[in-house]
Amino acid sequence: MRFARTMAVFAVSLAAVTAVQAQDPIKYGLGVALTGPIGFMGTQYTKGLQAGIDYVNSQGGIGGRKFEVIVRDTKGIPADAIAVAKRLIELDKASVIDITLPGSATLASQSVSKEAKIPMLGYTTVPAAVDQGNPYYFRPYSNVNIISATLAKVIAELPNEKRVALLASNDDYGRSAIQVMIDALKSYPDVKVVFSDYYERTQTDFSAIFLRMKAAKADTLYLDIRYPQSVTALKQMAEVGLKGTLVNSLLFYNNELAQRAGALLEGAYITALWAPIKDDPESKKFIEAFRKTNNGEIPDDSAAAGWCSAMVIADAFKRAGANADGEKLREALAATDILSPIGRIKFNQKGDAEAPVLLLQFKNGAYHPL
Amino acid sequence: MAPVFEIAIQQIVNGLMVGTIYALMALGLMVVLGILNVVNMAQGELYMLGGYFAYTAVSILKVDYITSVLLAMIAAAVVGAFVERVSVRPLLGRPAAVFLATFGMSLMLKNIALLIWGPDPRDISAPFNTTPLVIGPVFLTQQRIFIFVAAVVVVLAFAAFLRWTRTGMALRALSRDKDAALLMGINANRLYMLSFGLGAGLAGGAGALLGAIFSVYPTMGELPLMKGFAVVVLAGIGSIAGVLVSALILGVTEGLAAAFVSTSWIDVVAFVVLILVLLIYPQGISRLIKRDA
């Protein structure tokens, strides 16, 4: 009788432990640049992701389990990003990792995800991000090829002489951005690339570059410069008397930049992953949820990317089961087909959603959709 | 005028302006190196703090920009004296330990700035007209002219202080023959703190001046520190004029490299020139100029 009672107590305890384990949260491991030059983008991305995770939990979580994010700062340094990816997988026991900003950090840490067979996201537009032979990496956003094709069309339709100067950062991202832009412009024979160069991430003086653009008689300026360097660059452009139509990728869609250098941005054509002017149901849901968790703050495109990451992973877990392992989650991610603020997310064979971009123009101190 | 000459003239002018800022950084490093034989790895962060102090003075205390530069120099000097007292003086005579201590202090100051002012860049509001003045082929703004003039004035004032004041003479004496200076009754500890404060004040002034053009952020001191060291190596220890000439050479070389090679090759070209000069004058440019410090 005593034996039977002991066994009953043991069975009840075991069941209780199992139940508690079943209630353990699903961990989303985020390694992101929260400090350093692009810390402001990483912060927005994290806020968007957190808003998405809070929203999923408010809807009952995933299969009875809570959804939780573990955030670690990579400072935007690829070597730190690798260490963070390992830590998120090995110590934090994350079911999925997300190494975001800059693209070099996403590229560097893919080997960690591949080796551990843990699905991975990473907010970057660098084309090479989906060419690393890592079947566990997925990109739910747009990419540089789509952005460049959009801007090339804008340039071809400008009423000026279409003498284009290109400037991007001296790294993998910048070099691929310029190459892809040159390739995209080849479709338009009357467009001439008269200047291209690279700047250093630590560079503060752009005057020599702008003087050379001026000497090359460039009238269309593709400046792929990150904030806050973009503020300095725009001021110096005015200082050397360089005038032309500005075209830019995602980097010039930035409310802080608009506040600090708005007059210098006037007339610029800009692409963005998303903008709060969108009024489709998914965007409205995102804006409402984001504002609720961020004291009424209006989200930007980095925040939208973070929200989409949370939605993509939550959707995959719901289809694969809340206790899915890395392989099952990978299979579910590959079959993703959801609507989001940035549009329909459906991955191709490389794991690239190739989401569309918005085209905006900065006029009268604000961004307007075209 | 051919575009190539116009660009060259503009870049020489730009290089001279940047060079004067390098000179401020390098003088700060040299005075500490010459007197304490200490490599101050926190000099870049003192430069950064100068920018933040000026920003705070303009935006919170509502003082004018020129006063904010002076306040930034004084506040940076106070922080520099603190750095000397807590991380250098207890370890003097142990160069590796002092090097590491100032390196640790640089990390600490960077993180303190991050805590106080956050990671977002801050703009120092300066009262200058942004429309460029066009003088022949050269475009100049009032702000850049002010920075150049202010930096030159600070360098000259520093040279005058060292040459004609009793404290300046004591500093020079300590630099040239420490034992003899101590026998003459010079208070070494006081002068060590003063030299650190002076170096920090110069760096703070540079940060406050350039912060108004390039904005202020926690890591802004890393590159100027490297450039300051390059100038000290090029100049050699002991001459303010040597530092000024070396800084201008570095600034102009970088400007021309940016214009005629690529901005991504600036540092390569500048350091090749530095190596070539040192091959010809191994003890630095200062040997060509009369010792004055």
Q: How many Cα atoms within 13 Å fall on the side-chain side of residue A128?
A: 16
Average pLDDT taken over every residue of chain A: 90
Put simply, the answer to whether A204 touches B214 (Cβ < 8 Å) is yes
> Chain A to chain B, count of Cβ pairs less than 8 Å apart?
88
**pLDDT, tens digit, 9 for 90 and up, residues B266-282:** 888 888 888 888 888 88
B22 burial class (0-12, 13-18, 19+ CB within 10 angstroms)? buried
Highest-scoring range by mean pLDDT, A251-255, B1-5, B98-102, B265-269 = B98-102
Interface test with B, best of A38, A77, A169, A212 (most B CBs within 10 A): A212
Query: Hey, is B262 helix, strand or coil?
Result: coil
Using a 10 angstrom Cβ sphere, with 0-12 exposed, 13-18 middle and 19 or more buried, the burial of residue A118 is buried
Distance of alpha carbon A130 from alpha carbon A112, whole angstroms: 15
User: Measured between alpha carbons, how far is B198 from B175 in angstroms, rounded to an integer?
Assistant: 14
Q: Which domain holds residue B174?
A: 3-288
State the number of CA atoms in the 13 A half-sphere of A62 facing the CB. Answer: 27
CB A281 within 8 A of CB A341: no
What single string gives the DSSP state of each residue in A321-348?
-TT--HHHHHHHHHT--EEETTEEE---
Residue A256's H or E segment, with its range, is helix A255-265
Q: Using omega within 30 degrees of 0 as the cis cutoff, is the peptide bond preceding A356 cis?
A: no
pLDDT higher at A178 or A203: A178
Quick check: ipTM above 0.85?
Answer: no
pLDDT at residue A271 in the model: 92
Sign of the torsion angle spanned by Cα atoms B194, B196, B202, B206: negative
**Domain spans, chain A:** 11-142+278-356, 144-272
Binning chain B into helix, strand and coil, the percentages to the nearest 5 are: 75, 5, 20
Residues in chain B within 8 Å Cβ distance of A34? 119
pLDDT band at B252 (very low <50, low <70, confident <90, very high): very high
CATH number belonging to the domain at A11-142+278-356, selected among 3.40.50.2300, 1.10.10.10, 3.30.499.10, 3.40.50.970: 3.40.50.2300
Distances (CA, A) of B282 to A79, A291, B248, B275: 37, 63, 19, 9
Residue B140 has a pLDDT of 83
Kindly determine whether residue B6 and residue A39, on different chains, have CB atoms separated by under 8 Å: no
Three-state SS for A118? coil
DSSP per position, A177-205 = HHHHHHHHHTT-TT-EEEEEEEE-TT---
pLDDT of B248 higher than 50: yes
- Of A10-19, A20-29, A343-352, the one with minimum mean pLDDT is A10-19
Please say whether the beta carbons of A185 and A151 come within 8 A: no
| Residues of chain A contacting B120 with CB distance shorter than 8 Å | 39-40, 228, 256
> Does the CA dihedral A357-A360-A366-A368 come out positive or negative?
negative
Assess contact for B13 and B188: CB atoms under 8 A.
no
Task: Decide if pLDDT at B293 tops 50.
Answer: no
pLDDT, tens digit (0-9, with 9 covering 90-100), for B73-96: 999 999 999 999 999 999 988 889
Alpha carbons A232 and A230: distance in angstroms, whole number: 5
Q: Do B132 and A232 touch (CB under 8 A)?
A: no
Question: What are A281-295's pLDDT values in tens digits?
Answer: 999 999 999 999 999
Is residue B221 situated within a structural domain?
yes
Burial A229-241, CB ≥16 within 10 A → b, else e: bbbbbbbbbbbbe
d(C-alpha A156, C-alpha A292), whole Å? 42
Mean pLDDT value across residues B250-270: 86
Give the up-direction half-sphere exposure of residue A225: CA atoms within 13 A in the CB hemisphere: 29
Asked whether residue B28 is assigned to any structural domain, the reply reads yes
**Within 10 Å of residue B123's Cβ, how many Cβ atoms?**
19
State the pairing for strand pair A163-169/A220-223. Answer: parallel
Partners of residue B259 in chain A, C-beta under 8 Å? 208, 211-212
CA distance B35 to B174: 6
At B1, the pLDDT band (50, 70, 90 cuts) reads low
The string of pLDDT tens digits covering residues B182-207 is 888 888 889 989 999 999 999 999 99
Q: Which amino acid type is present at position A318?
A: K
Candidate from B114, B217, B258 with C-beta closest to A228: B217
Mean pLDDT of A113-138: 95
Question: Contact at 8 Å (CB) between B54 and B207?
Answer: yes
Interchain pair A197, B263: CB under 8 A: yes
Helix (H) or strand (E) holding A220: strand A220-223
Q: What are phi and psi of A247, to 5 degrees?
A: -130, 140
For residue A17, what pLDDT is reported? 43
* pLDDT band with cut points at 50, 70 and 90 for residue A219: very high
Residues of chain A neighbouring B138 (CB-CB closer than 8 A)? none
What end-to-end distance do the CA atoms of chain B give, in Å? 43
pLDDT computed for residue A100 by the predictor: 95
Of A34, A36, A212, Cβ closest to residue B259: A212
pLDDT at A10 over 60: no
Alpha-carbon dihedral sign for residues B59, B65, B70, B76: positive
Check CB contact under 8 Å for B266 and A215. no
- From B11, B119, B130, residue closest to A40, measured CB to CB: B119
Tell whether pTM > 0.80: no
Do the strands A358-363 and A269-272 form a parallel or antiparallel pair, or are they unpaired?
antiparallel
- Which residues, other chains included, contact B130 with Cβ-Cβ below 8 Å and sequence gap of 6+? A235, A238, A239, B141, B143
pLDDT 10s digits, A252-309: 888 888 888 888 999 999 999 998 889 899 999 999 999 999 999 999 889 999 999 9
Q: Largest Cα–Cα distance of chain A, in whole Å?
A: 98
Fold of A144-272: Rossmann fold (3.40.50)
Give the mean pLDDT of B247-267. Answer: 87
Using DSSP, state whether A269 is helix, strand or coil.
strand
Average pLDDT over residues A46-68: 96
Confidence of residue A6 (pLDDT cuts 50, 70, 90): low
* A2 has a pLDDT exceeding 60: no
Reported as a pLDDT band with limits 50, 70 and 90, residue A226 is confident
B43: which 2 tokens? 């000099």
**A86: pLDDT strictly greater than 90:** yes
Judge: A211–B259 Cβ closer than 8 Å, yes or no. yes
Residue in B130, B223, B264 nearest the CB of A198:
B264
A11 pLDDT more than 60? no
Mean of pLDDT over chain B: 88
Interface test with B, best of A239, A242, A260, A264 (most B CBs within 10 A): A239
Give percent above pLDDT 90 in chain A: 69
| Percent above pLDDT 70 for chain B | 97
Task: Quote helix, strand, coil % in chain A, to nearest 5.
Answer: 45, 20, 35
Phi-psi region of B118 (alpha: psi -120 to 50; beta: other; left: phi over 0): left
On chain B, the residues whose CB falls within 8 A of the CB of A33 are: none
> B43 and B203 in contact (C-beta within 8 Å)?
yes
Q: In whole angstroms, give the CA distance from residue A365 to residue B188.
A: 58
Confidence check: pLDDT of A228 > 80: no
pLDDT of residue A3: 52
pLDDT of residue B292: 44
Average pLDDT on A4-23 reads 51
Measured distance CA(A213)–CA(A195) in Å, rounded: 6
The pLDDT score that the predictor gives to residue A319 is 97
Return the pLDDT at B237. 74
Nearest to B263 among A209, A215, A238 (CB): A209
pLDDT tens-place string over residues B132-171: 788 887 888 888 899 999 999 999 999 999 889 999 999 8
Distance from CA of B120 to the nearest CA of A (A): 7
The separation between CA B281 and the C-alpha centre of its own chain, rounded to angstroms, equals 23
Q: What interhelical angle do A326-334 and A301-320 show, nearest 10?
A: 110
pLDDT more than 90, % of chain B: 43
**B293 in a structural domain:** no
Give the pLDDT of residue B182.
Answer: 84
The residue-averaged pLDDT of A135-141 equals 97
Domain count, chain B: 1
Mutate to test the interface with A, among B115, B138, B264, B265 (most CBs of A within 10 A): B264
- Dist CA B274 CA A337 (whole Å): 58
* pLDDT score for A21: 45
CATH (domain of B60): 1.10.3470
Q: Could you give the 3-state DSSP secondary structure of residue A171? A: coil
- Does the distance separating the beta carbons of A197 and B262 come in below 8 Å? yes
- In whole angstroms, what is the distance from residue A349 CA to residue A352 CA? 7
CA nearest A307: which of A140, A144, A146? A140
Reply yes or no on whether the pLDDT at B131 is more than 80.
no
pLDDT of residue A205: 82
The span from the first CA to the last CA of chain A, in angstroms, equals 80
- The minimal CB distance from B215 to the residues A43, A209, A228 is found for A228
A223 contacts on B by Cβ (under 8 Å)? none
At A178, the pLDDT band (50, 70, 90 cuts) reads very high
Q: How far is A199 from chain B (nearest CA, A)?
A: 5
> How many residues in chain B?
293
> Is the model's pLDDT at A310 over the cut of 70?
yes
